[in-house]
Amino acid sequence: MKQFIALTFIVSLLFLTGCGSDYDDEGTLIPTEPISDLEVELVVTSVEFNGVLYPLENDIIPEPEGVDINLRTADYSEAELFTLASNEPTIGVLSNINVGRAFTEGEIYKVLTPYYREIVGPNGDTMGKVVTMLDSNIMTPKDLEGKRVGIQGEADGSSIAFMTALKKIYQVDLDTIEFIAVESNMAPLMLQEGNLDASMFDSDYIITEGFSESYKVVIDFNREMYDFYGTVPPASFFVVKKEFYDEDPALYNRIIDFFTENYQWYKDNVEEVSQLEADASGDSYETIRLKADYEERAGKVTEKDIGAFYGFYEIAKERGVIDFIPDLNELFITP
């Protein structure tokens, strides 16, 4: 589970309020509709080979008529700030946790579509795994009670998804587990040295050839969520403040459709883009291509997604990450 790309869209509507005019054959003034232009500024941390942004940056899919989309980059905190503090019509990307946090702080967003979710891969599992050493006596999720378990952070969406699966599916008492926030690159070392009994692992370690020779999976929590709820809850979303969405829902959905078209192009050309990324980064093409089979960068919010997030936010509240459970009818567009 990578720190997913932070992305913010600053949308400026420039209405030329002076109406145009025409005259009929007798010289009578005929008013015409006001002319309007839509400029969209995308503030992103990176666009390199991202499933939505790569084709957009390279002008592969024609922009919607009358819309001009401009890209610029910013650091993560600046990009996040644009989404959280903007007083202008803005589309951005927020994590599932931050959408809930913003709601409880009075900033109500409308979730337009998932921006990123992990999906069940071609081998029937996901990258959302908690593992232990191969010789460990931990055999089932229930065995994690009383143990030290590494997570990406108490307020991390993947950690909450893991805890949701533990409690909702396996009735694990979360208060008996010592959850320890660790850097993803330190988790294998801390596990090997005995400083952790089990830990969430980053996908880079899970897909290495030697993984199964040293580690075993205690729980594939995203797969468990899929089996239980019928979906893997998205990790982040395209969002807009509800007050702006309510002014013109079709406007925002039109832009989202454009991003979805860009992602469809990426899926249709994933081999080519993965090779370009491998050439640029020096990483293995096979590894990069494999990761693409475990992610979805755009799509639709489903009723199953909404159902899963009731349980997700219940656990987030219990763990003190949010103050109360958001009104999901306010957050999500009903399918």
Span of 13-17, 103-107, 143-147, 314-318 with lowest mean pLDDT: 13-17
More confident residue, 166 or 1: 166
Banded pLDDT at 261 (limits 50, 70, 90): very high
Q: What is the pLDDT of residues 27-82, one digit of tens each?
A: 555 554 444 566 666 777 788 899 998 999 999 999 887 777 777 788 878 877 77
Q: What is the pLDDT of residues 72-97, one digit of tens each?
A: 788 878 877 777 788 877 778 889 99
Q: Note the pTM of the prediction, 2 decimals.
A: 0.84
**Tokens standing for residue 324:** 């109360």
Query: How far is residue 64 from each of residues 59, 112, 137, 257, measured CA to CA in Å?
Result: 12, 18, 57, 9
The answer to whether domain 7-119+232-331 and domain 129-229 are alike in fold is: yes
In the predicted model, what is the mean pLDDT of residues 174-192? 95
Q: What is the topology classification, in CATH, of domain 7-119+232-331? A: D-Maltodextrin-Binding Protein; domain 2 (3.40.190)
Domain boundaries, the chain: 7-119+232-331, 129-229
In the predicted model, what is the mean pLDDT of residues 227-231? 96
Span of 3-7, 208-212, 280-284 with lowest mean pLDDT: 3-7
Banded pLDDT at 21 (limits 50, 70, 90): very low
Distance, CA of 58 to CA of 61 (rounded, Å): 8
Are 20 and 27 in contact by the 8 Å Cβ rule? The answer is no
Q: What is the topology classification, in CATH, of domain 129-229? A: D-Maltodextrin-Binding Protein; domain 2 (3.40.190)
Q: Which residues pair with 40 in a beta bridge?
A: 11, 69
Position 276 scores a pLDDT of 96
Q: 201: closest CA among 165, 235, 151?
A: 151
